[in-house]
Amino acid sequence: PADRPWAMSRSTCDACKRQLGVADLVPLVSFLALRGRCRTCGAPIPWRYLLLEGGCLLIALWSALAFSGATVLVTAVFGWMLLLIATVDAEHLWLPDRLTLPFGALGVIATLAIGEVSIWTSLVGAAAGYGGLALIAWLYKKVRGFDGMGGGDPRLLGAIGAWVGWQGLPSVLIWACVAGLSVAIAQALVRRRFAAGQQLPFGTFLAIGAWLTWLWGPLHALLG
């Protein structure tokens, strides 16, 4: 949201803007060694960095235990990208094209690398994911008169379709809806009322659905 350069820029402290050195960037270890504070100005480091680093480690271990060969690396990259996208959407209700579009391109490359699905299945999955959700969003706005989801959600589902193929898309949507409903119900129970106009990060739930579908396959195959 701050529109800062990130691809080739050095990491800095959000408070004092000092460039971080190698000793400040060791995943998990640096946060714990510095007790969650900047080495220079003492400003607190957001806890989400520790949680994200821990999540990346968990994804890497999960990938290594669940798969073998090149699929381990592909699965880890898939999970890391999903974690990043899910976190951005959860915090800002925003799915930037600079994340979703490269994510989709990586999906097509991954199909060639490990051969889980054919490239045509990947491309059809991308088109079906984007087109299907874009159509649902258009119909919703036509009937209700206002947007029911953000413009980035169809692009994210299209990117996911490039990874899981068109066969995996129904499972992604089912898992996403289950996750979204669970969060909405939990929030309603805590607040003791349901906020009808409440916005939920659907991209985060799509990421959850994509990860579960990648690990376990389409639901019809899992249940059959």
> What pLDDT, on the 0 to 100 scale, is given for residue 92?
93
Q: Examine residue 27 and state whether it is found in any structural domain, yes or no.
A: no
Whether 29 is in a domain gets the answer no
Overall number of domains in the chain: 1
List per-residue pLDDT tens for the chain, 224 residues long: 555 655 556 788 888 888 888 888 888 888 899 888 988 898 898 888 899 999 999 999 999 999 999 999 999 999 999 999 999 999 999 999 999 999 999 999 998 888 877 899 999 999 999 999 999 999 999 998 888 888 999 999 999 999 999 999 999 999 999 999 999 888 888 876 666 667 889 999 999 999 999 999 888 766 76
pLDDT value of residue 18: 83
Query: Is 59 inside any structural domain?
Result: no
* Per-residue confidence (pLDDT) for residue 98, from 0 to 100: 94
Residue 156 in any domain: the answer is yes
Q: How many CB atoms lie within 10 A of CB 130?
A: 22
7-8-10 Cα angle (round to 5): 110
Is residue 44 situated within a structural domain? Answer: no
Domain ranges, residue 157: 94-223
* Cβ atoms of residues 100 and 85 within 8 Å: yes
Residue 128 domain flag: yes
Helix (H, G, I), strand (E, B) or coil at 94: coil
What is the predicted pLDDT for the residue at 205?
Answer: 98
91 Cβ contact list (under 8 Å, min separation 6): 48
What local confidence, expressed as pLDDT, does residue 144 receive? 87
Handedness of CA 218, 63, 59, 99 (dihedral sign): negative
Write down the pLDDT at residue 131: 97
The SS3 of residue 146 is: coil
